[in-house]
């Protein structure tokens, strides 16, 4: 399986996964071509900028920060970016209220008690704690059933009361499906058990040490996260590789030699590139559509369709120096359009002009839903009304607003997704020189650190450093 230096390797997708894999391979002497259908490198990790009379406002797609518990991954990014990386404190809060609107309170996130309980009545607070205690005892006695759904997993460990007031509303707002239809895998990957356990102990014993936050700081490029994929692209090209932007793959035809004929189109016409090996970081559905119909790919795609969640980004330029100190702010209330915001200037002072700040507000939805179809100006006004209505943003402070709709932002872990992914992988395994990498390509949620580690593992495997490739998502925990 080791690739030879003269092999032609084509990478489908010019996001972080494709570019990091391509960069590491070209550093090791491989012949690399990255195909990216978008006009700029980065995929979901792009940074956009808008020019206004006040100056330039920069925004990421949803906001990406970099952090890793592995020194080698941090070192890889630091070597790439040098002095362009800033070390930023992480401060996150969540807005909790009975109805999601006015009258609520911002508390630390991840949930820290007793602060989180203070928003509820004494009776509700006692109910949350007693429900948690009962669930813990029941779980230890083996009285709970198997963890199939997200609801099963959370209720079994934290009790139904906390599940209903926090976990359920925000999770269903993000994914647009019932927590009973969401796989328990999502909870296991996202929720830290010790943090809540220690938090409850602190609520009972106020003198106890406070729980540690998930991370206290993260790394962020001074001109937005898009600097990272742009730097990767530049390095690939400097070392002799190619990155073709505005170019989509329309066909991947397996050859008897074990390689592939990859048909690409740059909007002016099609051409065929020969590849000894193809590495895909594009959605599995798209990859299946590129393969020949006679291979059975269309039937596999139809029978085992995988779902992705889309998002709408509402970018707000604001006539004030700062809205809050938060890195992230979460809004679980179903009555609020916005699900999460971040303030880019809190990550880097160069993300907004002097005297101004901005908010990137995420709306979790999907193409075809009513919210997706609303006009940009309506979405901007709804976001402003909600954020001013709860006192987060000052009325009359909006300078300008923009909207960006993003497809295939998150893989949806609905019940049964793992079997679907397994089936697709088994189908693709008939071509040993076709590989999957990254969050979108592997249909596995990872932050940027996990994506980069996955890319490096793939490069190690293909160049003989590793005897086998093990998907980094196995055992991966999202911070």
Return the sign of the alpha-carbon dihedral for residues 411, 413, 414, 418: positive
- The answer to whether the CB of 439 falls within 8 A of the CB of 411 is yes
CATH of region 46-70+84-92+308-411: 3.90.660.20
- pTM, full prediction: 0.91
Domain 8-44+222-306+413-462 CATH (choose: 3.40.640.10, 3.40.50.1450, 3.50.50.60, 3.40.190.290): 3.50.50.60
Asked if residue 255 has pLDDT above 80, the reply is yes
* Residue among 375, 323, 363 nearest 344 (CA): 323
pLDDT band at residue 195 using 50, 70 and 90 as cut-offs: very low
Tell how strand 8-12 and strand 31-35 pair up. Answer: parallel
How far is it, in rounded angstroms, from Cα 95 to Cα 103?
A: 10
Q: How far is CA 380 from CA 47, 150, 314, 387, in A?
A: 20, 32, 6, 11
Q: Residue for token digits 């960006």?
A: 404
Tell me the average pLDDT of the chain.
Answer: 90
Q: What are 203-248's pLDDT values in tens digits?
A: 444 444 444 446 789 999 999 999 999 999 999 999 999 999 999 9
Q: Please, where are the H alpha helices in 104-249? A: 122-140, 150-158, 160-162, 168-175, 184-190, 193-204, 227-238
Q: What are 21-56's pLDDT values in tens digits?
A: 999 999 999 999 999 999 999 999 999 999 999 999
Structure-block tokens of residue 443: 């249909």
Structural domain boundaries of the chain?
A: 8-44+222-306+413-462, 46-70+84-92+308-411, 111-204
Return the sign of the alpha-carbon dihedral for residues 84, 85, 87, 92: positive
pLDDT band at residue 128 using 50, 70 and 90 as cut-offs: confident
How far is it, in rounded angstroms, from Cα 19 to Cα 32?
A: 10
């Amino acid at each position: 399986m080791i690739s030879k230096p003269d092999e032609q390797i084509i990478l489908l997708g010019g996001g972080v996964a494709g570019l990091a894999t391509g960069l590491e391979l070209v550093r090791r002497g491989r012949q690399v071509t990255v195909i990216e259908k978008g006009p700029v490198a980065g995929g979901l990790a792009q940074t956009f900028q808008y020019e206004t009379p006040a100056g330039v406002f920069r925004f990421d797609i949803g906001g990406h920060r970099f952090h890793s518990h592995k020194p080698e991954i941090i070192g890889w990014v630091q070597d790439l970016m040098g002095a362009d990386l800033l070390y930023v404190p992480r401060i996150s809060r969540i807005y909790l209220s009975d109805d999601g609107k006015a009258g609520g309170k911002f508390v630390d996130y991840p949930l820290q008690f007793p602060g989180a309980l203070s928003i509820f009545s004494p009776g509700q607070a006692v109910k949350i704690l007693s429900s948690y205690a009962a669930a813990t005892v029941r779980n230890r006695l083996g009285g709970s059933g198997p963890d199939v759904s997200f609801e099963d997993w959370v209720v079994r460990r934290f009790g139904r009361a906390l599940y209903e007031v926090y976990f359920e509303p925000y999770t269903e707002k993000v994914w647009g499906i019932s927590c009973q239809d969401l796989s328990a895998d999502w909870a296991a990957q996202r929720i830290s058990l010790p943090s809540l356990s220690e938090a409850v102990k602190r609520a009972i014993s106020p003198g106890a040490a406070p729980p540690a936050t998930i991370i206290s700081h993260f790394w962020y490029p001074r001109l937005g996260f898009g600097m990272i994929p742009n730097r990767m692209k530049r390095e690939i090209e400097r070392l002799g590789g190619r990155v073709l932007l505005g170019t989509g793959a329309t066909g991947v035809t397996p050859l008897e030699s074990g390689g592939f004929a990859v048909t690409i189109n740059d909007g002016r016409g099609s051409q065929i590139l020969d590849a000894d090996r193809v590495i895909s970081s594009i959605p599995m559905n798209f990859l299946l559509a590129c393969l020949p119909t006679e291979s059975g790919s269309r039937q596999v795609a139809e029978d085992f369709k995988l779902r992705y969640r889309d998002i709408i980004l509402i970018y707000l330029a604001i006539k004030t120096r700062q809205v809050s100190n938060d890195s992230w702010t979460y809004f679980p209330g179903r009555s609020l359009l916005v699900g999460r915001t971040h303030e880019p200037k809190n990550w880097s002072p160069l993300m907004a002009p002097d005297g101004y700040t901005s908010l990137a507000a995420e709306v979790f939805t999907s193409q075809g839903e009513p919210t997706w179809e609303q006009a940009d100006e309506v979405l901007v006004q709804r976001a402003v009304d909600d954020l001013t209505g709860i006192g987060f943003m000052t009325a009359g402070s909006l300078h300008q607003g923009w909207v960006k709709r993003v497809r295939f932002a998150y893989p949806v872990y609905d019940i049964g997704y793992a079997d679907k992914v397994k089936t697709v992988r088994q189908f693709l395994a008939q071509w040993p020189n076709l590989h999957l990498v990254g969050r979108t390509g592997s249909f596995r949620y990872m932050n940027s650190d996990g994506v980069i580690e996955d890319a490096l593992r793939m490069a190690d495997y293909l160049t003989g450093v590793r005897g086998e490739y093990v998907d980094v998502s196995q055992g991966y925990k999202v911070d």
